[in-house]
Chain A
């Protein structure tokens, strides 16, 4: 393993490095958070409580949570399936699939929204079909679902694929020779083995879904009472000079992010402990 310098044996040069790093992290990461929290808290509890009782705020949070739940469920399942398929199968379209899986990470959120608009919006590819089915996608909930599924897609798949690639199929093969069905093999062998990857993937999916803004803004239209997610609520609240509400919601999302971060770190520790 690498050499480690204990705190007591740090030379001045090394101390300088540590201090520089701390200053950098402090300036870029910590200071903005502190600024938000102190501004939010300086307003006193009353505006924050009032904001908490605001039906628009609650509605926005609920909408975001519902979208996140759908993303975790759908992309969790798709992630596991996709990882299994990509790691353990060889087929022609595999490279294409591989490329497509990574796409959402490269696409800017506004482009995502635009892409779905071009498919489902006015003059879009599927507009006639939607009209026939009386389906509304743009400026409506389904559009938000699609956008959220798109942006959160790669996380679980990549995390589980990584774990699967390292695991190999020995255990599963043994199970099959012992007479286990495919389902049993999956449920009792594969799933427990991938649980850290799956857990990590789910947390990342959640974080991304909670934070989605650009794509849902473009495809949803920021309609209060209909397509206003938590992030869009903040955006709109700033417009309405409802700063307490904006800061309150930003605080909620910031704390949620920190909670997710704690879970990520905990998973990391559990994983290395088990290794």
Chain B
């Protein structure tokens, strides 16, 4: 049985292990168990009933499709960004690279306030959009924008390490064999990137499922139209329906966990590290 440093410190090792297990048990396991138990009070039938209730169901669907659009945009532009950051040198590159980490630092509520300031009817842009009859603030597009801000780093940071490790020899070889740029890209460069793009996108999707602070300010929270699942849950808590809130939470949490597990599996297989800041 190994221990922290070497034989002779086993006592410490066990104490530390017990300590961390107790801490995690108390802080994380117990509250989540309470959530699980309350959510599963009505059994699986209860779960289904809570989620398929019309307002809840619409909220879940909205959450899913806005997250999906965000994921697609993120996959595309995140990859592009990683590509430009790793392979090109251009003025402002350092700044952009630093900016990519910004969403990890900014409070989500502040993100929401920023978006309202930018897009609300009283702003220059918002007024213009309203004149064009384009509803962005307090409508689904604002949700997608908020999600894009919050999850921007995920794909970029996942793809960057892969690009940096790429061996230029393969690319050169393909070119000397006469392959065109597109073929080189699709056959040589993209395949190693795919797992990273996939895992980053999956993680951003999972993150989006639970987003609250930025959306609650900017979406308008209209049931059936701009009410996302986390905000629905919040409403249920405030309306004195913790059981219903817990039930929908359990479903959402299960989805997020499954997705994160999938992403982790992909990362394990490819030996990559989940791109944190």
Binding site for B on A (CB under 8 A): 1-7, 10, 13-14, 17-18, 20-22, 24-25, 28-33, 35-36, 39, 78, 81-82, 84-85, 88-91, 93, 97, 100-119, 124-125, 146, 149-150, 153, 158-159, 162, 169, 172-173, 175-177, 182, 185-186, 190, 200, 204, 207, 210-214, 218, 231, 234-235, 238, 246-247, 250, 253-254, 257-258, 260-262, 264-265
Contact = CB atoms under 8 A, between A and B. Distances in A.
A88 to B, nearest CB: 5
Interface stretch (B48-56, B110-118, B128-136): B110-118
A265 B13 contact: no
Nearest to A34: B118
Interface in B42-99: 77, 80-81, 83-92, 96-99
Contacts of A35: 114, 117-118, 123, 125
A110 B114 CA distance: 21
A37 B214 CA distance: 17
Given A97-B24, A115-B32, A260-B105, A106 B277 contact: no
B190 to A, nearest CB: 14
A77 to B, nearest CB: 9
B149 A118 contact: no
Given A17-B84, A111-B253, A207 B103 contact: no
Contact of A25 (B2, B4, B28, B81): B81
Query: Chain B: interface residue count, which band?
Result: 35 or more
A36 B114 contact: yes
A81 B165 CA distance: 32
Contacts of B106: 211, 253-254, 257
A169 B100 contact: no
24 contacts: A2-B164, A3-B168, A3-B171, A10-B88, A17-B80, A22-B96, A81-B20, A82-B23, A84-B4, A85-B16, A89-B13, A100-B24, A102-B260, A103-B28, A105-B260, A108-B210, A109-B210, A118-B246, A207-B105, A211-B109, A214-B234, A231-B109, A257-B102, A257-B105
A22 B8 CA distance: 56
Interface of B: 1-6, 8-9, 12-13, 16-17, 19-21, 23-24, 27-32, 34-35, 38, 77, 80-81, 83-92, 96-111, 113-115, 117-118, 123, 125, 145, 148-149, 152, 163-166, 168, 171, 181, 206-207, 209-213, 216-217, 230-231, 233-234, 237, 242, 245-246, 249, 252-253, 256-257, 260, 273, 276-277
